């Protein structure tokens, strides 16, 4: 199965649930991809990454920016610019959201 995990800050060196879940699903021979924002924690500090595709420990990660244009309120809605397109390009069988409080669950429903 093709599975996408959507999380808003993916930190590859941490042992967060999305890290462990992705590895476990890969061990079960699923095709797993993580979609995350360009913001991530590195050594307990928030860092910015470029948009694009990365590979961490054989795990494909696509980083896309927040769509918030400087608005604090919009940033708290966790809107990712281009999530629907990323879903359409990958065509997953399952979408797993780590942060269901964000507005991006709508993009998954629309997919």
- The answer, as to whether pTM is greater than 0.85, is no
Per-residue exposure over 23-59, b if at least 16 CB sit within 10 Å of its own CB, e if not: eebeeeeeebbbbbbbbbeeeeeeeebeeeeeeeeeb
Confidence of residue 10 (pLDDT cuts 50, 70, 90): confident
16: burial class by Cβ within 10 Å (0-12, 13-18, 19+)?
Answer: middle
The rounded distance, in Å, linking the Cα atoms of 55 and 33 is 10
pLDDT of residue 75: 62
Mean pLDDT of 55-69: 87
Contact 46, 53 (CB under 8 A): no
Q: Looking at mean pLDDT, say which of 12-21, 22-31, 38-47 comes out highest.
A: 22-31
pLDDT of residue 86: 92
pLDDT of residue 11: 80
């Amino acid at each position: 199965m093709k599975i996408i995990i959507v999380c808003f800050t993916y930190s590859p060196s941490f042992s967060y649930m999305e890290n462990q879940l992705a590895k476990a699903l890969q061990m079960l021979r699923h095709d797993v991809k993580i979609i995350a924002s360009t913001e991530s924690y590195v050594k307990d500090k928030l860092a910015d990454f470029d948009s694009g595709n990365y590979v961490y420990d054989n795990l494909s990660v696509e980083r896309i920016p927040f769509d918030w244009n400087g608005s604090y309120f919009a940033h708290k809605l966790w809107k990712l610019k281009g999530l629907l397109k990323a879903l359409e390009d990958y065509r997953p069988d399952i979408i797993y959201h780590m942060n269901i409080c964000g507005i991006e669950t709508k993009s998954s429903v629309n997919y």
